[in-house]
Amino acid sequence: MLMYRILLTFCLLIGCAVGSRAGVVALHTPHTSLVLSAPKGGALQWLYYGSQLTAIDLSGITALGGTVAYPVFGLGTSSAEAALAVTHSDGNYTTDLLVADAAQMVQEAHSTLARIPLRDPVYDLCVDYCVRAYTDCDVVEVWTEIWHNEPSAVTLRRYCSAVLPVRRSAVWVSHLHGSWAAEAQMTQQPLQDGVLEIRNKDGVRNGMQDRAEVMFSLDGTPEENSGRTIAAALCYSGNYQLRIVTNWSDYHRLFAGIMAEDAPYTLPSGERFVTPKLAVAYSDEGCSGASRALHAWGRQHQLAHGTALRDVLLNSWEGVYMDITEQAMETMMRDLAELGGELFVMDDGWFGRKYPRTNSQGLGDWQVDTHKLPHGIAGLTQTAARYGVKFGLWIEPEMACLRSALCEAHPEWVLRAPRREVTTGRGSTQVVLDMANPEVQDYVFSIVDTLLTTYPDIAYIKWDANMEMQDYGSGYLADTLQGHTAIAYHKGLERVWQRVRSKYPDVVLQACGSGGGRINWGVLPYFDECWVSDNTDALQRIYTQWGTSYFYPAVAMASHISASPNHQTGRVIPMKYRIDVAMSGRLGIEMQPRQMTAAERALCAEAIADYKRIRPTVQQGDLYRLISPYAHQGVALLMYVGGDKAEAVAFWWQLDTFCGQHLPRLRMAGLNPDRHYRVTELHRRAAQPLAVEGKCYSGRMLMESGIEVPAGHNGEQAWASTVLLLTAVD
């Protein structure tokens, strides 16, 4: 460790020294390097990104050539894709950006920040190209800051955060797409000539369909545990655009940034436009390796309370939907406590006085419905305390129903295109509030502030958003600035989240957007976790959670045991399998415990106790994805390995059942080859223990040869699943 630190310091010094001598800026993470050429008066070039370079590598790096790091529109190559396109104050459509000075290097607590000043030699337009390299995880963040001192406003027509060049070869890209109840479905494809665009224009929740992350496999078909791999995640809560451009050049280039279409940005003199950061991770250990790098960065630097363990919770939605009563809440709290759970969350349906909440009214009126809850929130927090569980509740503060006291009092707070009727969503009355308006921001903050001040025992808030921006326009913004609507919404929202977090740093917040609509690293600095999907069907969840795990760690993935038949798919799946899928993320329950049989209750209680035992490894360990459900091998398999490799947990889920099926062996990864591990099956359902139960094997054997997992339990082959705990014995 000491040697490593000395080496790292040496490398950093070399990087800076080379930077000052030859305009080369080299940034290093523990295992990777990013190198730029920034000669004063010249163009900024991207030279290298990959495994960490030595000082000797660096001394010859410019000989290998590079490519423009942040291409701008209009001069010399106006046909080329641009990261930045500006209409200057006099109408000129072209921009030139040259390095104005040496990079400014700032040493931060866990990172080094390089700020490279770029200036247009003719117009007073400035761009700072910023790169942050972490010293405790293999992630770099890249973004730009744009401002000017021209006589009047300029218009930004394109304003990418970064361009990531990947040398042309047999490169494949993995990315996620989907829809409500089918989020994070994975597509893997070779990159070919042309443009692959991944985008979102929802306006409110950018994770519902295509996701703002990609993973490049540089050595052909994506492999989970081998091959050079780069993951890139745009950290932004609003509309985005990722374009992978493959054309006449030697590179595939990822242009990543806020969606500029329908959003020209008028930038007044002196205002700084800061683009969201693009987080980039490199690994030579395949897709799982790149995921592990992003997960480590996420837990340590991006996710609220990322290194804290999460409670086992029961959320009331699928148990009672909006039929909330004091009795029903108390029964669920008691059942949760008996099962060993730790936190009860009351979902939608608890509020509205003049218009008691239904699907089509009451949203926006965050006063308790005292017909349903005569003793209010205080009564519920007291009940929760009596059962020894924490209490949380659901809100959807960016939204309202037109039938609400709020909209009657403040019709001007509804987001709508000026001089037009508003289009409504859920229940034909739901609308989005205009987060561009500072009064609305204050109001949204006050919802959380009032709840948390009045009821300090609220430990958790589920923050939902169930509607897209159906009409583009804001009554608050000037007519000439309507193109700012989407960006201003998210600036306003982020301001509120910042206020909430600075006043209530400890409350646990879940980001929900009709399911997984709010899964983005730009949201998570303010939130502890995301609701992965409204689809709680265990089989479909394997696919959804698999995709989500490409970019997000288990600690942030809310994953709940639900009813059978499942409420979304109608599929009947045994409790054991439902539990085993939910346990691979942040475990919770999304059903009425009263509907469990006695045997199911007992199994559930046993599994919750097991989960508490393995929680540090699942929530904070390193993920190794082993057999993908998308690979159609009849089984999906992943494991988590604790930081010191003393403990690991393997999740094995059989996906289909055919006679004469040959299932693969359970071959592991990430263990210490030279240690021995005892195998223990958790909450076993089969009458007979596994043949390997209690036996010890070396990490090497478990990884190279593996163990057999029999198909099915007790002669039943359908819906077999196994959770194995591996404990180092020497």
Compute how many other C-beta atoms are within 10 angstroms of the C-beta atom of residue 694.
10
CB 401 within 8 A of CB 356: no
Secondary structure in 3-state letters for 305-322: CCCCCCCCEEECHHHHCC
Q: How many residues does the chain have?
A: 730
The smaller minimum CB distance to ligand GLA, of residues 466 and 485, is found at 466
Could you say whether residue 466 binds ligand GLA (CB under 6 A)? yes
What tokens does 254 get? 């990822």
Cα dihedral 664/669/673/675 (nearest 10): -100
CB 723 within 8 A of CB 696: no
The smaller minimum CB distance to ligand GLA, of residues 210 and 347, is found at 347
Could you say whether residue 624 binds ligand GLA (CB under 6 A)? no
Stretch that binds ligand GLA, among 50-58, 417-425, 511-519, 627-635 (CB under 6 A): 511-519
Using omega within 30 degrees of 0 as the cis cutoff, is the peptide bond preceding 565 cis? Answer: yes
The smaller minimum CB distance to ligand GLA, of residues 257 and 397, is found at 397
The smaller minimum CB distance to ligand GLA, of residues 356 and 706, is found at 356
- Round to whole Å and give the CA distance between 580 and 720: 10
Stretch that binds ligand GLA, among 96-104, 509-517, 552-560, 616-624 (CB under 6 A): 509-517
Instruction: Give the nearest distance from C-beta 348 to ligand GLA in angstroms.
Output: 3
Stretch that binds ligand GLA, among 90-98, 373-381, 508-516, 635-643 (CB under 6 A): 508-516
The smaller minimum CB distance to ligand GLA, of residues 398 and 534, is found at 534
* Pairing of β 696-698 and β 676-681: antiparallel
Instruction: Give the nearest distance from C-beta 347 to ligand GLA in angstroms.
Output: 5
The smaller minimum CB distance to ligand GLA, of residues 45 and 466, is found at 466
- Round to whole Å and give the CA distance between 282 and 191: 18
Find where tokens 């899964």 sit. Answer: 519
CB 150 within 8 A of CB 89: yes
Stretch that binds ligand GLA, among 118-126, 336-344, 486-494, 510-518 (CB under 6 A): 510-518
The smaller minimum CB distance to ligand GLA, of residues 117 and 349, is found at 349
Could you say whether residue 534 binds ligand GLA (CB under 6 A)? yes
- Round to whole Å and give the CA distance between 13 and 27: 10
Instruction: Give the nearest distance from C-beta 208 to ligand GLA in angstroms.
Output: 11
* Pairing of β 313-315 and β 343-346: parallel
Strand, coil or helix: 640: strand
Give the number of residues in contact with ligand GLA, rule: CB under 6 A: 11
Find where tokens 């795990």 sit. Answer: 549
Of 464, 600, 622, 647, the residue at the interface with ligand GLA (CB under 6 A) is 464
Could you say whether residue 515 binds ligand GLA (CB under 6 A)? yes
Instruction: Give the nearest distance from C-beta 323 to ligand GLA in angstroms.
Output: 12
- Round to whole Å and give the CA distance between 53 and 35: 9
**By rule CB under 6 A, what string of x and - marks binding of each residue 271-310 to ligand GLA?**
----------------------------------------
- Round to whole Å and give the CA distance between 159 and 412: 31
Find where tokens 């409204």 sit. Answer: 534
The overall longest dimension of the chain from CA atoms, in Å, is: 81
Could you say whether residue 514 binds ligand GLA (CB under 6 A)? yes
Of 512, 558, 561, 703, the residue at the interface with ligand GLA (CB under 6 A) is 512
Instruction: Give the nearest distance from C-beta 636 to ligand GLA in angstroms.
Output: 24
Question: Is residue 491 within a helix (H) or strand (E), and if so which, with residue range?
Answer: helix 485-503
Stretch that binds ligand GLA, among 228-236, 507-515, 575-583, 647-655 (CB under 6 A): 507-515
The smaller minimum CB distance to ligand GLA, of residues 172 and 394, is found at 394
How is residue 690 annotated by DSSP?
P
Could you say whether residue 224 binds ligand GLA (CB under 6 A)? no
Smallest CA-to-CA distance from 387 within 330, 345, 347 is with 330
The smaller minimum CB distance to ligand GLA, of residues 23 and 517, is found at 517
Instruction: Kindly give, in sequence order, each residue whose CB lies less than 8 Å from that of residue 613, ignoring residues fewer than 6 positions away.
Output: 725
Sites for ligand GLA among residues 580-619 (CB under 6 A):
none
Sites for ligand GLA among residues 389-418 (CB under 6 A):
394
**By rule CB under 6 A, what string of x and - marks binding of each residue 315-354 to ligand GLA?**
--x-----------------------------xx------
Smallest CA-to-CA distance from 438 within 480, 492, 481, 365 is with 492
- Write out the residues near ligand GLA by the rule CB under 6 A: 317, 347-348, 394, 464, 466, 512, 514-515, 531, 534
